[in-house]
Amino acid sequence: MPLLSPAVIRTLALVGHGGSGKTTLAEALLAAAGAIPAMGSIEKGTTVCDFDPLEKKFQHSLNSAVVHLNHRDTRIHLIDTPGLPDFIGRAIGALPAVETAVVVVNAQNGIEMITSRMMQWAANRELCRMVVINKIDAANVDLPGLLAAIQATFGRECLPINLPAAGGTKVVDCFFNPSGEADFSSVADAHQALIDQVVEVDEALMAKYLEQGDISPDELHAPFEKALREGHLIPVCFASARNGAGIAEFLDIIVKLMPNPTEGNPPQFLRGEGAAATPIHAEPDATKHVLAHVFKVTVDPFVGKVGVFRVHQGTITQDTQLYIGDGRKPFKVTHPYLLRGRDFVETGALGPGDIGAVSKVEDIHFDAVLHDSHDEDHIHLVPLELPVPMYRIAIEPKKRGDEQRISEALHKLAAEDPTFRAEHTSANETVISGLGELHMRYILERMQGQYHAEINTRPPRIPYRETVSAGAEGHYRHKKQTGGAGQFGEVFLRIEPLARGAGFEFVDQVKGGTIPGQFIPAVEKGVRQVLEAGPVAGYPLQDVRVIVYDGKHHAVDSKEVAFIAAGKRAFMDAIHKARPIILEPIVNVEIAAPDANMGDIAGDISSRRGQISGTDTIGGGMLAIKGHAPLAELADYHTRLKSITAGRGSFSIEFSHYETVPAAVQAQLAEEHARTGHAEDD
Ligand SMILES: Nc1nc2c(ncn2[C@@H]2O[C@H](COP(=O)(O)OP(=O)(O)OP(=O)(O)O)[C@@H](O)[C@H]2O)c(=O)[nH]1
Ligand SMILES: [Mg+2]
């Protein structure tokens, strides 16, 4: 395949709520364009885009899938994205790869949570947008009502570009057609409304229009693109992926009206970091240096690591050497591929606007910039607004010896998924986090199915700490006489509480060598052993100062071990007298939720020993609610918020500070430790 001009390339992402029919729509478009002999179905697990075994099992897309098809000498790259909230990171991740976001709305369900979110995310990235109302064949749909709701919610710029006709079995064009019969509304009115909207972005054309009364579609092309770019026009079209209504028409709209790579808003890249970063724009020019952005990475057991990218500038051929971000070592492309679901189609060249893939490149990662000149480094995309993974579970291998395999699997899964994280926590466990229960189930199934890692899960431990709330004296004399050589060391120390977050201080105030200088490190070592597990419930001790001020030694029997033991015991002696307490992490919580749920959310947070500190309106009837609460009280918050807000709420937390736990909690933690802690000591 020779290099195509950007003028004959279109890139679109199908986005929208789960079950709206995106994958089926992609299937219908592939079939209508002759790219596949016949449509597969979700129910049979035979679609091009949901090729993963887990997608077939869940009957939902779990990752973005790329297909290309040809229509009227134009190459269309389509990205089918997941609509389930748990997998939304992969849909957001795909937005920088396209000129147009096609928001698919389920005619049966109307506007849903992800519909609104995607309209907003796409607008934030300045993408051209269009709406497809799918499932117009289904029973009990109110299409005029839905169109009105879309206009009321997303603005008057949402204008029908075709209308259902013949009882929803076909659609009639309203842009090129000045008149015709539709099931509702009027083709003539819709035509008029589109022209009025488009000419508004071009004063000269507006004047001509007012004078002549009509304008040819050719003259409207440039202002149409401008209106799309400016968000002044969001075309709405109707379709049924099931009975084929509006599918051929949708292909024509894509080719004739949707922006090619020179007509959209190019994504913003930055050169450099932080405040010093300067914005740069890629130019869709095949002769310039290569600039491509990796928006999807998969690790396939057969083809290895695959990086899927959008070319924004320059040309990639089999001979191109590409650098990954700031990396110094280029790789040779060798096989540039176009994609069709799971199939790789080798191609001669990928130019601006193309979406392609390379395989077996170890260092490639999500959000990487690929370029072909080593002075073009430090370029990255303006960061994506990805949801922060908040659903956390702790994992451990079922079998000893599997640790390495699990750690490798986690690493590979994290490279694929920007909303999945794995960390080793300060409570000394491996915690994985994602966007919800389904997301975690998917990860665990992959761990087991693909990486043969058998694991147990449980709720993550809370990283409690211990400290003291008063000063106290401590003393210990370590004396042992067993057979020949003895052990002797004696330590006097004093402890003082420090401010929250101050950590630990060790002060040597020994005068006159009562503890010889060479043994002070041993005393400190003994003291530090206690820090690892405090006396109340075995949590690390912090915010305490230890001042060693006196002791005794013996010319022959004083040894390092003796002072380690004495330091440790003297410190423990002091802590018991210094009213030890348990501290718990307090986190800042930010919740996005519908206005109407404010009362329930505030009540729920206060029942969790938390507090709301303020709210901001964020549009779309949503509030940003800020507050704080103990981390320990938020273990099931994900589920709770989901039920309070009927799935519309989301939240994020970040560590704020440590505070003393209530006495009842302290007693309970101490009791649990007494019960289980000793088992570990044996
Ligand atoms: N009646 C009718 N059903 C449809 C149509 N399009 C899709 N469906 C059905 O709707 C269900 C969901 O379709 P999908 O294509 O999986 O929806 P999706 O938007 O890809 O869903 P996610 O992958 O979860 O985001 C399936 O059972 C389809 O058969 C349509 O035009 N009419
Ligand atoms: Mg799908």
pLDDT tens digits, one per residue of 438-473:
899 999 999 988 888 889 999 888 889 999 999 999
Q: Please, which pLDDT band fits residue 682 given cuts at 50, 70 and 90?
A: very low
**CA-nearest residue, atom 8 of ligand 1:** 21
The mean per-residue pLDDT over the stretch 84-104 comes to 95
Ligand 1 site, CB within 6 A: 18-24, 41-43, 60-61, 82-84, 134-135, 137-138, 240-242
pLDDT score for 677: 65
pLDDT score for 610: 96
Task: Say if residue 102's pLDDT is above 50.
Answer: yes
Side by side, the strands of the sheet bearing 504-508 are 472-481, 486-497, 544-552, 504-508
The C-alpha torsion from 636 through 638 and 641 to 646, rounded to 10°, is: -120
Q: pLDDT digits over 468-497, tens only?
A: 999 999 999 999 877 677 899 999 999 999
Looking at ligand 1, which atom is closest to the CA of residue 61?
23
Alpha helix (H) residue ranges in 213-285 = 217-229, 247-257
Task: Say if residue 132's pLDDT is above 70.
Answer: yes
User: In which residue ranges of the chain is CATH 2.40.30.10 found?
Assistant: 279-381
Options 3.40.50.720, 2.40.30.10, 3.90.1170.50, 3.40.395.10; CATH of 279-381: 2.40.30.10
Domain 7-257 top-level CATH class:
alpha beta
**CA-nearest residue, atom 9 of ligand 1:** 21
User: In which residue ranges of the chain is CATH 3.40.50.300 found?
Assistant: 7-257
pLDDT score for 48: 95
Q: pLDDT digits over 10-48, tens only?
A: 999 999 999 999 999 999 999 999 999 999 999 999 999
Architecture of domain 391-458: 2-Layer Sandwich (3.30)
* Percentage of the chain modeled with pLDDT above 70: 98
The mean per-residue pLDDT over the stretch 634-640 comes to 88
Q: Please, which pLDDT band fits residue 678 given cuts at 50, 70 and 90?
A: low
Q: pLDDT digits over 551-609, tens only?
A: 999 888 888 999 999 999 999 999 999 999 999 999 999 898 999 999 999 999 999 99
The mean per-residue pLDDT over the stretch 611-622 comes to 84
Q: pLDDT digits over 235-289, tens only?
A: 999 999 999 999 999 999 999 999 999 999 988 899 888 788 889 889 999 999 9
Please, are residues 234 and 131 in contact by the beta-carbon 8 Å criterion? yes
Q: Is 96 exposed, middle or buried (0-12, 13-18, 19+ CB in 10 A)?
A: buried
**CA-nearest residue, atom 14 of ligand 1:** 21
**CA-nearest residue, atom 11 of ligand 1:** 19
Please, are residues 615 and 661 in contact by the beta-carbon 8 Å criterion? no
**CA-nearest residue, atom 7 of ligand 1:** 21
Q: Which of 23, 30, 88, 132 for mutating ligand 1's site (highest number of atoms within 8 Å of CB)?
A: 23
Task: Say if residue 501's pLDDT is above 90.
Answer: no
Q: Is 186 exposed, middle or buried (0-12, 13-18, 19+ CB in 10 A)?
A: middle
Q: Please, which pLDDT band fits residue 3 given cuts at 50, 70 and 90?
A: confident
Options 3.30.1360.10, 3.20.20.70, 3.30.230.10, 3.40.225.10; CATH of 466-578: 3.30.230.10
User: In which residue ranges of the chain is CATH 3.30.70.870 found?
Assistant: 391-458
pLDDT score for 648: 82
Cα 105 to ligand 1 centre (Å): 10
Protein residues placing their CB within 5 Å of the ion ligand 2: 22-23, 61
The mean per-residue pLDDT over the stretch 544-548 comes to 97
Q: Which of 42, 51, 52 for mutating ligand 1's site (highest number of atoms within 8 Å of CB)?
A: 42
Judged by DSSP in three states, 406 sits in helix
CA distances from 39 to 24, 75, 242 (A): 8, 20, 9
Architecture of domain 582-664: 2-Layer Sandwich (3.30)
The Cα–Cα gap between 384 and 294 comes to: 13
| Average model confidence (pLDDT) across the chain | 92
Cα 182 to ligand 2 centre (Å): 30
Q: pLDDT digits over 361-372, tens only?
A: 888 999 999 999
Task: Say if residue 150's pLDDT is above 80.
Answer: yes
**CA-nearest residue, atom 6 of ligand 1:** 21
Q: Which of 24, 131, 250 for mutating ligand 1's site (highest number of atoms within 8 Å of CB)?
A: 24
Task: Say if residue 217's pLDDT is above 90.
Answer: no
Q: Nearest ligand to the C-alpha of residue 50?
A: 2
Closest-CA residue to 612 (of 599, 621, 625) = 625
Q: Nearest ligand to the C-alpha of residue 87?
A: 1
pLDDT score for 60: 95
Cα 59 to ligand 1 centre (Å): 9
Looking at ligand 1, which atom is closest to the CA of residue 240?
31
The alpha carbon of 551 is separated from its chain's Cα centroid by a whole number of angstroms, namely 57
Looking at ligand 1, which atom is closest to the CA of residue 49?
20
